[in-house]
């Protein structure tokens, strides 16, 4: 036929040394992108070669959170990703003019993802993080098909209702035969000036998802950490300098560092 041959995705080849993490959540707004960029920045700070694919079609907030303003360039037939803090970044938002909302459907998303994985000059990455859209939609399935060895990292809040949705996002691994590397609980509490913890969104969600997925998948899915609420985390994201770099002593930054260390 006239179709171009299937592009080769280096991360999916046997013997690839790149660890690929697909960062998933049930609902939006739980901090999935914030966790992704902070883990990326933390790993890069340790000297690892790190890339991020912003596959959150509806949110695509990764470039902003990493302070990336540059567009990708093209060299020969490869796309050169912009870099920030040593992290290579590619986002669907870089290929849409202005602030145009993305209304692509499944097959187009699949092709875009395939291009991000096959046609971007990533070099020899130690770690590739993929920020998925919330839920269990087309993109999660595409990632599973394109990079079957991608391990899922589930982000949830402590809220029980949120945890149930997050559990479904992780349980997709039973169908796709992927590994779930663990659960991150974000927005776990707010530390008050007197040192006490206010549990704004309740408690136990992260542990509940960990327990449920361990049971469903028949393999231990650990709770990797709990990240407190911290205004500085949001401010750092808004300013394009992740909190692990901007405020490394903040408890939220320390929690993220510990999670990155365990990956």
Tell me which residues touch ligand ADP (CB under 6 A): 25, 28-34, 59, 61, 186-187, 227, 229-230, 233-234, 237, 252
Nearer to ligand ADP, 131 or 138 (CB): 131
Nearer to ligand ADP, 87 or 233 (CB): 233
d(CA 239, CA 192): 24
Q: CB–CB of 18/128 below 8 Å?
A: yes
27 is in an annotated binding site: yes
Q: In this structure, are strands 87-91 and 83-84 parallel, antiparallel, or unpaired?
A: antiparallel
Q: Please choose, from the candidates 93, 126, 118, the residue with its C-alpha nearest in 3D space to the C-alpha of residue 17.
A: 126
Q: CB–CB of 121/75 below 8 Å?
A: yes
Element (H, E) at 111: helix 106-118
Q: Please choose, from the candidates 111, 118, 137, 106, the residue with its C-alpha nearest in 3D space to the C-alpha of residue 24.
A: 137
30 is in an annotated binding site: yes
Nearer to ligand ADP, 94 or 227 (CB): 227
Nearer to ligand ADP, 18 or 186 (CB): 186
33 is in an annotated binding site: yes
- Closest approach, Cβ 8 to ligand ADP, in A, equals 30
196 is in an annotated binding site: no
Token output for 158: 């402590």
- Closest approach, Cβ 133 to ligand ADP, in A, equals 9
- Closest approach, Cβ 61 to ligand ADP, in A, equals 5
Nearer to ligand ADP, 82 or 237 (CB): 237
Three-class SS state of 236: helix
d(CA 23, CA 110): 17
- Closest approach, Cβ 203 to ligand ADP, in A, equals 15
- Residue 90, phi then psi, degrees to nearest 5: -130, 140
28 is in an annotated binding site: yes
86 is in an annotated binding site: no
- Closest approach, Cβ 87 to ligand ADP, in A, equals 16
Binding site, by residue number, is 26-33
Binding site for ATP, by residue number, is 26-33
């Amino acid at each position: 036929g006239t179709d171009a041959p299937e592009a080769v995705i280096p991360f999916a080849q046997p013997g690839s040394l790149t660890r690929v993490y697909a960062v998933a959540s049930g609902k939006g707004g739980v901090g999935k992108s914030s966790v992704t960029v902070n883990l990326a920045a933390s790993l890069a700070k340790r000297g690892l070669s790190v890339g991020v694919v912003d596959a959150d079609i509806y949110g695509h907030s990764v470039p902003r959170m990493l302070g990336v303003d540059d567009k990708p360039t093209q060299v020969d037939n490869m796309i050169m990703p912009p870099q920030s803090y040593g992290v290579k970044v590619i986002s669907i938002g870089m290929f849409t003019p202005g602030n145009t909302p993305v209304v692509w459907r499944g097959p187009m998303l699949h092709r875009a993802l395939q291009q991000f994985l096959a046609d971007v000059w990533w070099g020899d990455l130690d770690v590739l993080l993929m920020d998925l859209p919330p839920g269990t939609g087309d993109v999660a399935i595409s990632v599973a098909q394109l990079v079957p060895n991608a391990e899922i990292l589930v982000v949830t809040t402590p809220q029980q209702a949120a945890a149930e949705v997050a559990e479904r996002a992780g349980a997709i691994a039973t169908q796709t035969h992927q590994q779930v590397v663990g659960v991150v609980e974000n927005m776990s509490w707010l530390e008050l000036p007197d040192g006490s913890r206010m549990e704004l969104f309740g408690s136990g969600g992260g542990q509940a998802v960990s327990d449920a997925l361990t049971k469903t998948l028949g393999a231990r899915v650990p709770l990797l950490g709990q990240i407190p609420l911290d205004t500085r985390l949001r401010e750092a994201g808004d300013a394009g300098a992740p909190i692990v770099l901007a405020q490394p002593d903040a408890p939220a930054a320390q929690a993220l560092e510990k999670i990155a260390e365990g990956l």
